[in-house]
Amino acid sequence: MRTFENLDKLTILHYPNPILKKASAPVEEFGEELVQLSQRMLELMKQEPGIGLAAPQVGILIRLFVCNVTGEPDDDLVFVNPRFTELTGAVDCEEGCLSVPGVNVTKRRASHAVIEAMDATGRPFQMSGIDLLARVWQHETDHLDGRLISDTMSTADEIVNRRAIKQLKEEYAGGRPAPRG
């Protein structure tokens, strides 16, 4: 069983950290360590505050993400080895990202999604989501595949976000964390 050491020291990586561009490996072992990692990721997500967080965003290249679009503790969700079985509809909406702070882009995403995954203990499940929930699932799955919202910005989004992207690059090169907010 893989152990995830120093969970209390996990932090959210920021663009342009190269780890964020790498595809994640499927999870093959389940157990208490994966449950603890999921819980720590939910804590980090809520501290920011965010509504989704993928394992690559904390430097762990496995196919795992967490989300909660309502903020209610009972709505915490953990997805291990997720895959979409249905994506329908299309809607353009503005998105932000905890790993690209200060940057918002307009993204076209499916408005309805059906996803199959496992929980942190390895139990399989299927869920259907619409609108924001479907969008979050697609956003976090992009992270598992090494894709960021900044990868497909429109020309207008590039212009609007030029300063924030430049600042993130400078702070990464200087070894300082990016500002929050």
Residue tagged active-site, from 29, 140, 158, 171:
140
CB-CB contact of 172 with 93 (8 Å): no
Give the integer Cα–Cα distance in Å for 29 and 43: 22
Burial 111-122 (b: 16+ CB within 10 A, else e): bbbbbebbbbee
Active-site residue, 158 included: no
Q: Which amino acid is at 169?
A: K
According to DSSP, the β-strands at 105-109 and 91-95 are antiparallel
Q: Could you give the residue numbers annotated as active site?
A: 140
